[in-house]
Structure 1
């Protein structure tokens, strides 16, 4: 009890000193250098007691990020002549670092006559914690190596983390070599930091190599590896790693769960995504905003926008990432009105849109041909929110104009913008020239020429130009274009569709022959086509095939398109009332679009088709795209 009373008296006396400092200029840098002499009963305490309690009070300032009070105690330290104590100086550096005052932390560091390993590590850590100071962490490490031979695995792992933030691959590989030379490469902190940097910068093979060699792996090591695989679009491998963590009984964290949900989104693996969602709910991570945003993205990409919106509305707190996720989801499903309403609600809650928000809302306008709305958003970016349009915003605007039939205006925007036109811009113009038959052949040829330069290996550009000629009945040019494609090294991507049934993905190509139930599928499809012809007057439209062939041959090719086969298999395999969800690697053709509308009416099924551009929701004979796609 006596010790407790003594400590309370000590704090009371320090509060007395602190109040005097707060009402004086002693908190300025000059005051710290020359503190005012104050007759103070604290000085009567033994030096060891004073040092101990000062350390505790500085740690409290660090925890509470109280830089003003921390400076008051710093002034008292100088007054008492304790600034030369290495341990106290280290605590001061840490305190200033936690309070975000890196310059004061560096001032304390530079004034130390003797520095310990902790001093160097703490100062390097200070630079790493403050994102604008990452380069200084590398410079300080170089200075450390020149002045002392001391270092630890924490030093190396910390500096590697600085490389991660700056994408400094050259420096990272040098640190990798240093870790090998000093035998710290097997340390779990060093290894984890290195594989994290490699994964974030596209060097996933190097990341996997380090992972395999690590004798010890923590939860963070596994989550860093899963995140790296997802960032490099190796989604199946990421899921396999996650399943290993489950088998090993490792603890799940927000980073691994968010990453593996993103992997499910990339694979459109709805069943797998739902299972991981159940794990998230079970362990209590449902309220985490970053996990919630990943779940919203996953459900949106898997075609269940209603569930995505439900997760959004259930979130207690909503940051800009969460708002962007749901606006992007509605945009992907061409729910432009809903996206625009959310865009306004977002601002009403006090959250300002960022660059990503504007990309999503402009994309939503493009999917519905809302040219004037798109123009308004494009112009208000800089006027209202001080956001300079980047190349992605210009690309969205070009797409809006092109889809809306204003290809010449889109070309004019490309000519006047401060960026070199990207492949997506020229692709928007070329695709629109095909759908808008008439006087756009020259512009289509210009767009195609630019695309051949930018993407020489993309056969899809040759096909688009060929289809533009075909739509205008210029069969000689079609033949020349297709001959040019054969002579080039570009490879045409074959159209395919896939559907998930009972946790297994079934893939179909046009004219599929290898599926185990293909005979049944063709028989059921023929019955369905006959029923459609009788009930709805549907007939395969030869005009949707742009080959120079007889109409009967065109109809035969269209009859067995991959999405029709995938739908028929889903109809045979899924219970009544369950929506049929189909994914496709190319744009859905006009005939298949008509087929899906009629099929949804006759079979009384909701059909969701995701192609390269967007989602199409077919129900009761109608499509959510309202024929604008």
Structure 2
């Protein structure tokens, strides 16, 4: 325990223990040693002093010092004082030791409302919202009437476990007691409804409040962001400013998240400027939101500018940068950043590892992925379902279905994301039968497929030539599971039908689509025309492709190859000449490859891979 920096005089302590208690609260760096020194100074602390010390312990989560104070309370005989016991319960709850809180609570001959409140808030703070609600029920059964603070704690509990109906029940009690217009209660109601996803109820409470402070406005903004309504969040932020309410750091974070979800770069830059004008300190919390916003909006230059100016960077900030590079297709930069993060001594968390695995998957860096897997095991993050799903996805995309299946089979349970990662891997590697078998297993486990599941299945059927199975899955998706077909599903079906030679059926499907066809779907049919030598349809498909993407070299190449395959060499050369005139350049085939632990881009030249650029081995 630290030594006192300043010690109050004996006379001051003896004369006015209440003033000493206030000093204890204000000067947190001296409260503990002074308390322990009181008996040695000949001064016996009174209950008010002990309550002040316990409050200080609670405010800084100083559990061990709180236990020390508890021992002195027992020796002094003050433990029987009701408000001292309530403060003990409160201190243990705020310090996260509900076991100690329950021990004191159960010894009390009777509990007042303050003690029940302390227990309720303690469980909420410890992430045990359901236990807090159960305690509230027990409190009422024992005839203790809740006060405003109780019901605010209950609302917080409801928000933490998304218990909307229980929250509405608490709201009814608040109305009955006439507390619904109270600013403190109103803010908690808005926050509860917003976190439970009922923005209509949140807005109704918000509009009835006689005045709204920054906490209330922020709760509404965060609620809209959480519900995926970024536009409404930005509208509310503008209205908040018009009302003259100054945003705080939490408000800015919510608005930046809204900009990120909408990829609204200019709005995000405007918010950034407002933060500078408000002298909002660029701490790790706000800085991470700025980095994340710029990264999700695709402006890594701005993200780096903020990142480099931050006085300190935590795992969240590093992860935002890593994810940003992955989303921008810069997987190797993401891995380089991960290595730099470790060199600076910042410990990655589960979300960091998800980003790293996605980076490995994007550049097919299998050995890097395996090293990341080892690091995950060392960090004890392997049990995280998101990490496990990302491991399956990484191994599948890196071509190691054996490792993907091994990770998948060791998972205690699988959600739809787990199954999609595995099915997508089978589809990618042309293992149609394995995809079909595992889909049956998925159904047997009672996991409900989503639209991505059927993209994987239809792709697997297309690559394996399973026409009948593909048609069956398409019907299953639209009729049984009521999942509307999207462009990705139509593209898979056109590819499936086209590869099997059902060219007219494929064209009819495109023409009957409710959504507008893109170049990719026309190109899928053009590729099928090349396989089956249908020049007439191929010409129509090529025209469609080049209307949408006039500089798409692939359209020219497929048409040229179609002419060449059918013996029309002159037409083939003419198409090639048109391609050059339009400056539609062919991109050489390339892939990320690993040679002696060096990751680099391999370009295909004359059918042989050549390592063009590498990064040094780690």
Shift of 1:210: 2.6
Q: Residue 500 of structure 1: SS of its match in structure 2?
A: strand
CA distances 1:374-407 after superposition (whole Å, capped 9, x unpaired): 1111222110011111111111111001111222
Picking from 284, 287, 309, the partner of 1:191 is 287
Unmatched runs of 5 consecutive residues or more in structure 1: 15-37, 44-48, 512-559, 567-629
2:572 paired with 1:467: no
Cα 1:152–1:376 change in 2 (3 A) is same
The answer as to 2:595 corresponding to 1:501 is yes
Query: What is the correspondence of 1:225-624 to structure 2 with a 5 Å cutoff?
Result: 225-437=321-533, 440-496=534-590, 499-505=593-599, 561-563=607-609
Matched, 1:112 2:209: yes
Aligned counterpart in structure 2 of residue 182 of structure 1, from 278, 285, 297: 278
* 3-state SS of 2:594 partner: strand
Q: Distance in 1 between matches of 2:480 and 2:489?
A: 16
* CA 1:509–1:157: 2 relative to 1, 3 Å: closer
CA distance change for structure 1 residues 185 and 407 in 2, over 3 Å: closer, same or farther?
farther
Number of aligned residues: 485
1:236, 1:267 within 8 Å by CA — same for their partners in 2? yes
C-alpha contact 2:191 2:216 (8 A) present in aligned 1: no
* Greater displacement, 394-403 / 120-129: 120-129
CA gap of 1:420–1:98, structure 2 versus 1, over 3 A, is: closer
Contact 2:519 2:548 in 1 (8 A): yes
Partner Cα distance (2:405, 2:507) in 1: 37
Structure 2 Cα separation of the partners of residues 410 and 366 of structure 1: 13
1:113 deviates by 2.5
Q: Does 2:242 align with 1:139? A: no
Residues 342, 480 of structure 1: alpha-carbon distance in 2 compared, 3 angstrom cutoff: same
Aligned to 1:526: none
Decide whether aligned partners of structure 1 residues 212 and 402 sit closer, same or farther in structure 2, where only a CA change above 3 A counts.
same
The one-character-per-residue Cα deviations of 1:306-340 (angstroms, maximum 9, x if unpaired) are: 11011111111211111110000011111111111
- Say which SS state the counterpart of residue 337 (structure 2) adopts: helix
CA distance in 1, matches of 2:581, 2:173: 81
- Quote how far apart the aligned CAs of 1:476 are: 1.3
Distance in 1 between the 2:447 and 2:604 partners?
47
- The offset of 1:2, in angstroms, is 5.3
Contact preservation (8 Å) 1:287, 1:316 = no
Is residue 403–residue 428 contact of structure 1 (8 Å, CA) maintained in 2? Answer: no
The verdict on how the C-alpha distance between 1:270 and 1:50 changes in structure 2, with shifts beyond 3 A counting, is same
* 8 A contact 1:366–1:400 mirrored in 2: yes
Equivalent residues in 2 for 1:38-187, closer than 5 Å: 50-131=147-228, 133-184=229-280, 186-187=282-283
1:58, 1:95 within 8 Å by CA — same for their partners in 2? yes
Q: Are positions 1:8 and 2:111 aligned together? A: yes
Q: Which runs of 5+ in 2 are unaligned?
A: 1-79, 83-104, 118-139, 612-618
Query: Which moves more between the two structures, 58-67 or 225-234?
Result: 58-67
Following superposition, the deviation at residue 230 of structure 1 comes to 0.4
Alignment of 1:184-223 (within 5 A): 184=280, 186-223=282-319
TM-score normalised by structure 1 residue count: 0.71
Question: How far apart in 1 are the matches of 2:232 and 2:157?
Answer: 27
CA distance in 1, matches of 2:111, 2:178: 23
CA contact (8 A) 1:330 1:339 kept: yes
TM value normalised by structure 2: 0.72
Which residue in 2 is equivalent to 1:518? Answer: none
Greater RCO structure (CA 8 Å; 6+ sep): 1
Q: What per-residue deviation string (whole Å, max 9, x for no partner) do you get for residues 581-613 of structure 1?
A: xxxxxxxxxxxxxxxxxxxxxxxxxxxxxxxxx
Secondary structure of the corresponding residue to residue 111 of structure 2: helix
CA distance in 2, matches of 1:377, 1:504: 42
Q: Deviations over 1:252-305 (max 9, x none)?
A: 122221111111111111111100010111111112222222211211122111
